[in-house]
Chain A
Amino acid sequence: MKRIIVCLKQAVDVSQLKIDPSTRRLITASAPKKISDFDKNALEEAVRIKEKIGEAEVYTLTVSHEDAKAVLREALAIGADKAYFVDDPSFQDVDTSGTAYILAEAIKKIGEFDLVLCGEASLDSFSGLVGSRLAELLNLPLIASVGKLTVEDNTVVAERTLEDARETVKAKMPALITVTREINQPRIPSLMMIMKASKKEIVTWTATDLNIQQEKIGAKIEVVDVLAPKTERKKIMITGENSAEIAERLAKALIQEGVGGR
């Protein structure tokens, strides 16, 4: 029996974020949340591995300081067998370092596992650090940014795309893999799957349950400011009688901008 643990972040749905135009501040408090995109790919991949090899169980693991039940239920509907939720108000300010530490402690408490799957980065903060940090804390082989994954006996073979090459990498399990969006297309759970999921177990732990040392979750970085970027563009609309005239004028403007090496 293989056990796969998928780390899921409840992220701000960035496509639905609103910006206050007068202050350029983001309105995050009321923004809807969802399973972070890449994490959903990680979950889908875990469920596919389970479907393929049969003898496997998929656990999800989420760290948060606020309610995430809807996200956990969705994960169970997609096909996870059990959801672990580490929820503590003291997690309010954790950064990637603290998050990785809490995840590592939770995974140690879960016990045996063969694979840990994470998304390459989260949808909202897009740091892409937690998976690597977690691998380091758990002393696991790490294969990151994986677009194709195969599980064979006690090894994993993964394909990852770098800036200038595609690599095939092998590691012995247990191992940690971070996945990209290209790895699969996550399923949309059917009503039947959603109903089945309501019977599945959600285990909730607090910081105390995991013996979390508060000094280890102190943030090591501090976000001092978040602002929507200024757009300082000319916004000149080029018009004309016909396409040829518009093109003439646009070409002239571009040449004035230095296009064509002049």
Chain B
Amino acid sequence: MSEHKGVWVFSEKYDLTLEMLGKGREVADKLQTRLTAVFAGYNIKEKARELMKYGADMVYLIDDPALECFQIEAYLGILHNLAANYKPEILLIGSTKNGKLLAARLATRLETGCVPDCVGLSVDEEGRLIGERITYGGNAVAKVISRSKPQIATIPARAFEKLETEDRKGEVIELDVKIEEPKTEVVEIEPLETASVNIEEADVIISCGRGLEKKEDKALLEELAKILDGQVGNSRPLAEDRKWFTEWVGLSGHKVKPKLYIACGISGVIQHVAGIRDSKTIVAINKDPEAPIFEVADYGVVGDLYEILPALTEALRKQLQ
């Protein structure tokens, strides 16, 4: 019997915490162990109790004014103390940019491994956590296990579903911890425009690539997006090479999983495909019948986006009426 017990989740983002609780519940049930959320921040006592509804058996609550803004050293100190004392078997950490730093540094302090960015999680017959992650620039999915404990994995947003809310009992244990002093100083925070943040949450995305001749022609996509209540995106070359936009959809940019992804004039290089792979339905519109995007599409149209898009907008407008 290992002295390490229980599944823990932590993220500084609330939604991601709930998603990890959903998957964590499944893992904990399989291992017949408890699911604990480490919940830290300021003025969050009321929310802590809610976590039971999403699958937690227990919540370690750290409510401290010093945690009003995310400070990696503060969270690192908290998690390190808790994990070193209470020894979880599995620790899932939300894979935001800051969350990943936290996971890596925590794993180092605990002298254990870390499996980053798991888009799949399962437990094998020996009770080991298997993380699935995209690797080699989107060319492959690797299955990775930890040889040491706690088994730490980081989980990207929207990889897993929240549980439906249900009435569950559980305990909230409030802890008083010493907050570690930060080594860096955040001098300015500038929120980013919401439009660019939201694409990962969109149900419908209409995206353009090199086939778009002018930046302004994105309006064609916007027309269709309006009908489908979707958002407009683009591939990397339009941002990196043509400098029309600052962000892109793809492995190195926004990884998306909408219900519908329409790729217009996108050739479909592996890095782009890796970023859209989890979409439910993929449509490709491209002039080049040999474009690799057709290999990963549910519906393909060989044609000029400048003709097909307005026609599709019109057809959908009619048929959806």
Contact = CB atoms under 8 A, between A and B. Distances in A.
Given A132-B101, A222-B145, A165 B299 contact: no
A168 B311 contact: no
Given A220-B146, A235-B298, A247 B185 contact: no
B189 interface: yes
Contacts of B316: 251, 254-255, 259-260
B97 A171 contact: no
Nearest to A15: B137
Contacts, number: 243
A60 interface: no
B282 A17 contact: no
A136 B105 contact: yes
B319 interface: yes
Given A220-B146, A235-B297, A248-B315, A133 B282 contact: no
Nearest to B115: A221
Contact of B300 (A14, A157, A236): A236
A7 interface: no
B191 A164 contact: yes
A47 interface: no
B277 to A, nearest CB: 7
Interface of B: 72, 96-98, 100-101, 103-105, 107-109, 111-117, 130, 134-148, 157, 183-192, 197, 204, 228, 251-252, 259-260, 270, 277, 280-283, 294-304, 307-308, 311-312, 314-316, 318-320
Interface class of chain A by DSSP: mixed
A259 B204 contact: yes
Given A221-B146, A222-B147, A237-B302, A166 B189 contact: yes
A97 B104 CA distance: 9
B65 to A, nearest CB: 20
A181 interface: yes
B197 A257 contact: no
A233 B300 CA distance: 11
Given A225-B142, A229-B277, 11 more contacts: A126-B134, A129-B114, A133-B108, A167-B186, A170-B187, A220-B107, A226-B141, A235-B298, A243-B303, A243-B308, A246-B308
Contacts of A239: 302
B116 A128 contact: yes
Interface centre among A140, A228, A254 (most CB of B within 10 A): A254
Interface in A161-184: 161-171, 175, 181
A171 B185 contact: yes
13 contacts: A12-B136, A17-B137, A127-B116, A141-B184, A163-B96, A222-B144, A224-B145, A237-B302, A238-B299, A243-B304, A244-B311, A251-B315, A252-B319
